[in-house]
Amino acid sequence: MSEWSKKPILLDDNRITRPYIGGKLLNEWRRMEPTKDSHNCEELLVTSIGAISVGHESGYGVSKTIPSQGSISLKDIIASDPDGILGEKYNKRNPNHLSVLARAGDTIVRLVLQCHPREEDAKKYFNSVCGKTEAWYIVRTREVKDQDNCIYAGFKKHVTKELWQSLCEKQDVKEMVNCLHKLHVKEGDIILIPAGMPHAVGPGCLFLEIHECNDITIRVERNINGVVLTDEEMFNGLSLHEAMGLFDYTTYTLEEIKQKIIMKEKKVIVQNESKLTQMIDYSDTTAFGMQIVDIKGEFTLTKFEGHRLLVPINGDVKLEWSEGSIDLIQGHGALIPAQCSDLKLIAPDAKVMIGLPGKL
C-alpha cells in the first residue's frame, strides 16, 4: 500500500492554452491573481492523461500535487498503488489511469464546433479504452455584449451526414452553427454531452467539466477566434470522411434535446442540515456519475470501491479523515483514493461537485 492511498490528494494549478478566449473569471473563481482574458483560459483540475496540444509532448498537463504534498506527478502516485488509489475493478478496466477527469474553462466567445469519439471509435482509431462523454456544471456567467449565455448541442431535424460534411468542406460556419440547437443556460445548470454529439459552449460561461479518460476532439472549424487550426488539430490524424463518421447524426426537436441533456435532481441523501444530490447516474449515462453536496456544517461520504473527484463550486471545504485534515480551496481539485473511506466534508456553507467513475 502507498502512503497516498488513504488520504485526499490535492492538485496544483495547471493552466493550459486553448483556441477560445477567457480566463479572467476563472482566476477570480479560483482565487488566483487577477488576469485579462486570453487563450490561457482552461484549467486541468484532476487528470492522469493531461491534454493533447500541438507543440507539446505526451504527458503535457498531467496533474501534480500541491507543493505541501510534494509537487508529485499524479501518474507516479497512481503507479505506486493503482488498485488502492483507483479501486481494483477500475484499475483493471483502465490500468494506471483515472476513469473520470475534471477541468474548468472560462470563455467570452463560442467554442469551436466539435465532438468526441464514442467508445467503439476511440478503440478503432485511437487505441483508447473509452470514449469521451462529458458534463458541464455552469459555475458562473457574465455579460458579453450582444451575446447570450448559451450552449450549442445536438443536430436539428434537418441535418444529415451529407449536409454536415458539405458544410464542413465549404467552411460555412454560419450554417454549421444553425445545424445545432442553442440552449440558454444559467448558473447551476448541468448539461450532459454524450460522446459523438456535436456541441460547443457559448460566450459568457465559466464551466466545470467532468469527462471520461480521453482528450480526443474532432473540430470542424479551421479559423476560430483568431487561431488557424491544422488538419491534425481538427481531425487528430483522421481523414475528413473518417472524422465525419465520428459524429452522432441523431436529430432532435428543441424539446427532445432539452429532455436528453439538461440534468435533473435524482436521489437525495440528507445528513442534518447538509445534503447530497445525485445529478447524473446510470439512467443518464454509463460513462460517469455526478453528485452535488450542499454542506452546512459537515457531510460524511459513504464508502465507495473506486476513486472520486472533488471540486468546491462555492466556498472552501475542510477535508477530514482518520489521520488528518486539509483545506480544499474553491475551484481547485482533489482526488479521493478508493481506500480513503472515512472522509468528512466540513464547511459553514459550501457546494461541492463529486465526480464518480462509470459503470463497469
- The domain that contains 173 carries what CATH number? 2.60.120.10
The pLDDT of residue 52 is: 76
Same domain, 132 and 32: yes
Domain end: 235, 261, 287, which one? 261
Based on the domain organization, do 228 and 142 belong to the same domain?
A: yes
Closest by CA to 227, choosing from 3, 11, 17, 25, is 17
Q: Are residues 238 and 288 in the same domain?
A: no
Contacts of 141 (CB under 8 A, 6+ apart): 149, 185, 186, 187, 204, 205, 206
Considering the domain architecture, whether residues 272 and 173 belong to the same structural domain is answered as no
- 194 phi-psi bin (left φ>0, alpha ψ -120 to 50, beta other): beta
Residue 358's nearest CA partner among 310, 277, 290, 300 is 290
Does residue 2 fall inside a structural domain?
A: no
Contacts of 92 (CB under 8 A, 6+ apart): none
Q: Does residue 124 sit within a domain?
A: yes
Same domain for 114 and 39: yes
Amino acid at 48: S
Q: Answer whether 358's CB lies under 8 Å from 334's CB.
A: no
Residue 3 maps to a domain: no
Identify which of 217, 221, 125, 117 has the alpha carbon closest to the alpha carbon of residue 169: 221
**Sign of torsion, CA 93 44 332 260?**
negative
Within a domain: 205 = yes
* pLDDT on residue 58: 72
For position 16, what pLDDT does the model report? 95
CA angle 269, 274, 275 (to 5 degrees): 30
Whether 170 and 290 map to the same domain: the answer is no
Among residues 197, 195, 3, 217, which one has the least CA distance to residue 105? 217
Same domain as 194, residue 47: yes
Domain boundary among 261, 281, 306: 261
Do 34 and 332 meet the contact criterion of CB atoms below 8 Å apart? no
Based on the domain organization, do 219 and 298 belong to the same domain?
no
pLDDT value of residue 108: 98
Question: For the residues of 236-254, what is the DSSP string, one character each?
Answer: TT--HHHHHTTS---B--H
Predicted TM-score (pTM) of the model is 0.97
249 and 275 part of one domain: no
**Residues 256 and 279 both lie in one domain:** no
Is 4 contained in some domain?
no
Q: 168-204 pLDDT, tens per residue?
A: 999 999 999 999 999 999 999 999 999 999 999 999 9
Tally of domains in the chain: 2
290 inside domain: yes
Per the domain annotation, does 288 fall within a domain? yes
Residues of the domain holding 178: 9-261
pLDDT at 1: 78
Same domain, yes or no: 276 and 256? no
Which residue numbers in the chain have pLDDT < 50? none
C-alpha distances (whole Å) from 244 to each of 121, 160, 169, 239, 250 are 12, 11, 11, 9, 13
The pLDDT of residue 54: 65
Please, is 127 exposed, middle or buried when counting C-beta atoms within 10 Å of its C-beta (0-12, 13-18, 19+)?
Answer: exposed
Q: Of 216, 243, 261, which one is at a domain's C-terminal end?
A: 261
Q: Is residue 159 part of a domain?
A: yes
The 10 Å CB-count burial string (b at 16+, else e) for 235-268 is bbebeeeebbbbbeeebbeeeebeebbebeeeee
Residues 92, 83 contacting (CB under 8 angstroms): no
Run of H or E including 15: strand 15-16
Residues 254 and 273 in one domain: no
